[in-house]
Structure 1
Amino acid sequence: MTVPARRLELDGELTIVAAAEQQARVRAFLAESPVPAELDLSGVTELDTAGLQILLAARREAEQRGTALTFHDPSGPVRSVFETAHLSAELD
């Protein structure tokens, strides 16, 4: 039996301005339970390097907890930053 993934929707700006708040949200979400998790990125309107660091750190933290974290439905701005950073494979 496959355990369904939990999902957290991120929206708006994922930038240095909102980094601390968004990071706290993501970390609390990951701490809730050890099942696979998804971050829904369809509503992210802007992403900068601080936001990118939050996403990549969240993936590492999930791995350290022994679970998977996937990035679901990335918006255009998210795809653009990942492509610029040569990290497009992280979205698949």
Structure 2
Amino acid sequence: MSDSRSGTRVAIVDDMTIYNASAQKQQLLDALAVHDEIEIDLSAVAEIDTAGIQLLILVKREASRLGKRAVLVAHSAAVREVVDFFNLAASFGDPMLIPAREG
């Protein structure tokens, strides 16, 4: 996690699955409690299931409720695929940049 005064970047380094959701929820909500804006770096997420998607929705909703921002950045291929499958890109409102070459 890298910090600045008003914001922080939280790198998710494990899969966003039901097995990790509880710990990740606490990590993200703790960061949101301290900072006005958090960037959630999803570049290392190799697998994401519905628990992970629910967590991202929760954090975005909680940030909005508190008048803060949670921004999803550096979406991995796995995250892009699931966000696309559930047609959530517009709901999240964050740009999803697709690298010119993956792999």
Asked if these proteins are the same fold (TM beyond 0.5), I'd say yes
Aligned ranges for residues 32-51 of structure 1 at < 5 Å? 32-33=34-35, 35-51=36-52
Query: What is the TM-score normalised by the length of structure 1?
Result: 0.89
Following superposition, the deviation at residue 4 of structure 1 comes to 6.1
SS in 2 for 1:23: helix
Q: Contact 2:28 / 2:59 at 8 angstroms: preserved in 1?
A: yes
- Counterpart of 1:28 in 2: which secondary structure? helix
CA RMSD of aligned residues (A): 1.4
Q: Which of 19, 22, 33 in structure 2 is aligned with 1:20?
A: 22
Distance 1:23 1:41 in 2: 14
Runs of 4+ residues over 6 Å off in structure 1: none
Gaps of 5+ in 2: 96-103
Identity of aligned residues (%): 33
- Cα distance change, pair 4–29 in 1 and its aligned pair in 2 (3 A): closer
Query: When the two structures are aligned, how many residues end up with a matched partner?
Result: 89
Q: Which has the higher contact order (CA 8 A, sep 6+)?
A: 1
**Runs (5+) with no aligned partner, structure 1:** none
